Structure 1
């Protein structure tokens, strides 16, 4: 299950339990909409509660990343899992966005806001 929140120039995604293909397609729809109307956007992924992801999600992520190589500015991935961090790093090979892995939410949000010239709430 995922929860998607839209901020100006940013899409925030929190994944709970298993990340399924249907969840990923919901994410794609939200991101495509944001890109269409705002241009390149930042992504914030909170994967701390993700238990697992399906193989088709991994494949879809590669396909999506390659199709949108220039559509992201910054990507913050929040996780406590080394495996998830490694997977995110692997995906970075297909996008030109700056990506960082965090284990602290305040640091992740501060990094995204610093680029925008904002201060964290």
Structure 2
């Protein structure tokens, strides 16, 4: 299950349980809509409660980041999972966005807001 909310400075996406292709497509629509009207997106991806993900979702993520990597300016990933951290760093090959990995959601939010204030 996925929860997506538009905050003042970023999009917050929280994954609970299994991360599926349907969830990822919902995320894609939100990012593309936001970037179309407001430019590059700052994103907080909270994966603390993610239990697993489907293979088709992982493949879609690679495809999306390759095609739309320029739609992001900063991506904060909240996780304590080593494989998710590795995957986030791997995604850096396909985007110019600055990627930060955090154990704490508040630290991730502060990092995103700081970026927004510096660019204002």
> Whose strand proportion is higher, 1 or 2?
1
**Partner Cα separation in structure 2 for residue 112 and residue 84 of structure 1:** 19
How do 1:90-101 and structure 2 match up within 5 A?
90-101=90-101
Counterparts of residues 1-121 of structure 1 (less than 5 Å)? 1-117=1-117
How far residue 7 of structure 1 moved from its aligned partner, in angstroms, is: 2.2
CA RMSD of aligned residues (A): 1.2
* Maintained 8 Å contact 1:20/1:57: yes
State the structure with bigger RCO (CA 8 A, min sep 6), 1 or 2.
Answer: 2
Deviations 1:32-86 (A, max 9, x none): 1101110101010000000000111111001100111211110000001111111
Where does structure 1 lack aligned partners over 5 or more consecutive residues?
none
Q: What TM-score do the two structures reach when normalised by structure 1? A: 0.93
TM-score, normalised by the number of residues in structure 2 = 0.93
Q: What are the superposed Cα offsets for residues 3-30 of structure 1, whole Å, 9 maximum, x if unpaired? A: 0001245211000000000000000011
- Aligned structure 1 segments of 4 or more residues deviating by more than 3 angstroms: none
Structure 2 gaps of 5+ residues are none
